[in-house]
């Protein structure tokens, strides 16, 4: 009888711990802090990030285009770095990265997965998924790519994305986490959360760079 009670107690404890862990993850990744990244002419954006994230942004200069991004410390087994990370870069709308990267523009104006450079094989292995992105005043695509080679416990999911507005585009990449972590019961698949952050991006009117934005 004591053994049965003990087993019941342990099962309840593990269930409760998992619930707390999931709730803790949900609170940690909630994107509720607005940040502005000035990546150069036509590429000034506003986005919301988690309050505990480390944000970085630099205006374009003679050294190259502006870059921005943020990272949120998760757990050591979440990803290779332990972080949930995003980066953003400014491109011209006709750059290959935008028009012929992981997605290609259709005559209808939509997007389709690019079958070149390994895309077809990833699609056949169900390791590539395309998402249409419609943000506040831009649209584009995101592609979730799962690693298919290497030791399984180190395989990750990446999210590559591009938003277009007028003659400019903002593109980047996010590490969504180890596949083992995303599939583990009690953990949150951050793919949908990452897409929600991307769909909340807004392009802003250009302003001159400030001293703070020039810091890298």
Q: What percent of the chain has pLDDT over 90?
A: 51
* Distance separating alpha carbons of residues 89 and 133, to the nearest angstrom: 17
Tell me the Cα Rg of the chain: 20
With CA atoms as reference, report the closest residue to 82 among 91, 71, 90, 92: 71
Q: How confident is the model over 127-145, as a mean pLDDT?
A: 93
CATH number of 2-214: 2.60.120.1690
Across 148-175, b (16+ Cβ under 10 Å) vs e yields eeeeeeeebbbbbbbbbbeebbbbbbbb
**Three-class SS of residue 195?**
helix
Q: What is the pLDDT of residues 162-187, one digit of tens each?
A: 999 999 999 999 999 999 988 887 77
Confidence at residue 116, expressed as pLDDT on a 0 to 100 scale: 86
Q: pLDDT tens, 100-110? A: 789 988 888 88
Q: For the chain, what's the residue count?
A: 216
Q: Where are the domains of the chain?
A: 2-214
Q: What mean pLDDT comes out for the span 100-126?
A: 88
């Amino acid at each position: 009888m004591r053994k049965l009670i003990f087993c019941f107690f342990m099962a309840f404890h593990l269930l409760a711990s998992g619930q707390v862990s999931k709730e803790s993850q949900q609170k940690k990744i909630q994107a509720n802090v607005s940040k502005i990244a000035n990546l150069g002419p036509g590429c000034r954006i506003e986005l919301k990030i988690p309050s505990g994230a480390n944000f970085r942004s630099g205006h374009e200069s003679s050294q190259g285009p502006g870059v921005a991004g943020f990272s949120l410390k998760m757990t050591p087994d979440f990803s290779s770095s332990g972080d949930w990370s995003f980066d953003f870069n400014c491109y011209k709308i006709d750059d290959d990265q935008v028009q012929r990267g992981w997605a290609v523009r259709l005559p209808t104006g939509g997007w389709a997965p690019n079958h070149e450079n390994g895309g077809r094989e990833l699609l056949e292995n169900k390791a590539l998924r395309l998402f249409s992105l419609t943000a506040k005043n831009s649209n584009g695509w995101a592609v979730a790519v799962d690693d298919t080679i290497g030791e399984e416990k180190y395989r990750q999911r990446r999210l590559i994305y591009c938003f277009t507005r007028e003659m400019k585009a903002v593109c980047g990449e996010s590490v969504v986490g180890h596949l083992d972590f995303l599939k583990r019961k009690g953990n949150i698949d951050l793919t949908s959360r990452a897409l929600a952050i991307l769909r909340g991006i807004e392009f802003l009117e250009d302003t001159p760079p400030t001293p703070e934005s020039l810091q890298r």
